[in-house]
Structure 1
Amino acid sequence: MDITTIGYFLFASVLLTITPGPDFMFVFAQSVSQGKKAGIATGLGLCTGLIAHTLAAAVGISAILYQSSLAFTIIKVAGAIYLLYLAIQAFRENSEPEQQKVKKYSMISLYRKGILMNILNPKVSIFFLAFLPQFVKVSNGTIPFQMIILGLLFIVQALLIFILLSISAGKVGEKLWSNATVLRWINRLKGTVFAFFSLRLLLDQK
């Protein structure tokens, strides 16, 4: 694969990653409410989920998902329900600063949430199926292998952006943790964001 193609791909990938969407907002919300380590753990989970979507696009599973309305709907509903579950959790989080500091260290839980959130979003699979082939050339060798390489490049740049986002948003959050009222509103905002993306995913068509 030539450097020019990779350069165009990375440029487009960065623009797509920094556009506020479920993943971006999820990392931002966790970083503000529970610290930069929570945001990084969430970002790692989301990027791990992207590995599954990359492999699915490379072997053609995403194409099957695109053709099957039933499969798409089942995964879409499951993803919407999971986002709604996260919204309810956020609304119910305790706003006391002391308890918030204890919660922020459950990194494994946040990592798992990130994985599930991405895997249960069929639109990510279809996005990869539509996006990656635009930078694939038959003359460059095996197409599935090229798509895997591009998918891994996308994951690396996304992870770097999520880490930077976590650090910057975490610094903002550190200044707010001492205020129980502010924490309560942060949790409500986080719950509202998850509920919004749950509804949007449920109503979206392929």
Structure 2
Amino acid sequence: MISLQFLLTALFVVLAPGTGVVFTVAMGLGQGKRAAAWSALGCTVGIVPALAAAALGLAAAMHASALLFNTLKFAGIAYLLYLAWQAVKEGGTLSVRAETKAGSGWVICRRAALINILNPKLSVFFLALLPPFLSGSPETARAEMFLLGGIFMAMTFGVFLIYGYFAAQARTLLLESDRAMRWISRSFAAIFVALAGRLALERA
């Protein structure tokens, strides 16, 4: 069940830059290592609802319900656009600037968690990723999905910590250039807008 193939597949998925990675890197550049660590934790915790929905069979029901899917999708789009605004807003939580006060860890964690919670495709993703690696026993299928999902979450947290650490290290170089900080913030805003656009194109 816990095979090398699963571990490599999960690692490949986790390493691929997505919304959570962008948020964690943005927090690392904007507020340092501590903020990046809280972001990594939040993105990991945000996986739990999608994993539970996949294991309990709720993901299929949501995928079949256009209303539920679209409600969650548009909430996710609105949140991504809000993050884009926070990246370019003067003093925004995601803006990269020299003088900044690290926000509350729990607030950062909650904001990061919402990225995955408001992604309606995540539970469907787990339905596609995990079943091929199950043992095939109906009696243990649910427990196995939670186990594999837990490993996926642990890998997510570890990889995101690494992304955040290097982003925080790069922060000291960026602080020397106001122009670089402005362009980095604008770039993050553009990425979040692009991610919102991609989510808008998703169909149940």
CA gap 1:96/1:152 in 2 versus in 1, 3 angstroms:
closer
1:120 corresponding residue in structure 2 = 118
Provide the secondary structure at the position in 1 that maps to 2:46. Answer: helix
Using the TM superposition, give the Cα deviation of residue 113 of structure 1 relative to its aligned residue in structure 2, in angstroms.
Answer: 0.8
1:9 corresponding residue in structure 2 = 6
Between the aligned partners of 1:42 and 1:178, the Cα distance in structure 2 is: 25
Number of aligned pairs? 200
Between the aligned partners of 1:133 and 1:93, the Cα distance in structure 2 is: 46
1:133 corresponding residue in structure 2 = 131
Contact 1:93–1:187, Cα closer than 8 Å, also in 2: no
Between the aligned partners of 2:192 and 2:184, the Cα distance in structure 1 is: 12
1:48 corresponding residue in structure 2 = 45
Matches within 5 A, 1:1-206: 1=1, 5-94=2-91, 96-98=97-99, 100=100, 102=101, 104-139=102-137, 141-206=139-204
Provide the secondary structure at the position in 1 that maps to 2:130. Answer: helix
- What percentage of aligned pairs have identical amino acids? 34
Structure 1: give runs of 5+ residues left out of the alignment. none
Deviations 1:140-171 (A, max 9, x none): 85111110001000000110000111111110
Q: Which has the higher helix share?
A: 1
The letter of the residue matching 2:197 is L
Deviations 1:9-62 (A, max 9, x none): 111001011112212222122212221221211111010011111111110111
Provide the secondary structure at the position in 2 that maps to 1:73. Answer: helix
Provide the secondary structure at the position in 2 that maps to 1:138. Answer: coil
Between the aligned partners of 2:90 and 2:32, the Cα distance in structure 1 is: 15
Between the aligned partners of 1:137 and 1:26, the Cα distance in structure 2 is: 35
Using the TM superposition, give the Cα deviation of residue 77 of structure 1 relative to its aligned residue in structure 2, in angstroms.
Answer: 0.6
Structure 2: give runs of 5+ residues left out of the alignment. none
Contact 2:77–2:199, Cα closer than 8 Å, also in 1: yes
The letter of the residue matching 1:97 is A
Between the aligned partners of 1:123 and 1:54, the Cα distance in structure 2 is: 11
Provide the secondary structure at the position in 2 that maps to 1:121. Answer: coil
Using the TM superposition, give the Cα deviation of residue 92 of structure 1 relative to its aligned residue in structure 2, in angstroms.
Answer: 0.3
Moved more, 28-37 or 125-134: 28-37
Between the aligned partners of 2:103 and 2:195, the Cα distance in structure 1 is: 25
TM value normalised by structure 2 = 0.91
TM value normalised by structure 1 = 0.90
Provide the secondary structure at the position in 2 that maps to 1:110. Answer: helix
Contact 2:30–2:97, Cα closer than 8 Å, also in 1: no
Contact 1:45–1:113, Cα closer than 8 Å, also in 2: yes
Provide the secondary structure at the position in 1 that maps to 2:175. Answer: coil
Provide the secondary structure at the position in 2 that maps to 1:13. Answer: helix
Between the aligned partners of 2:9 and 2:90, the Cα distance in structure 1 is: 37
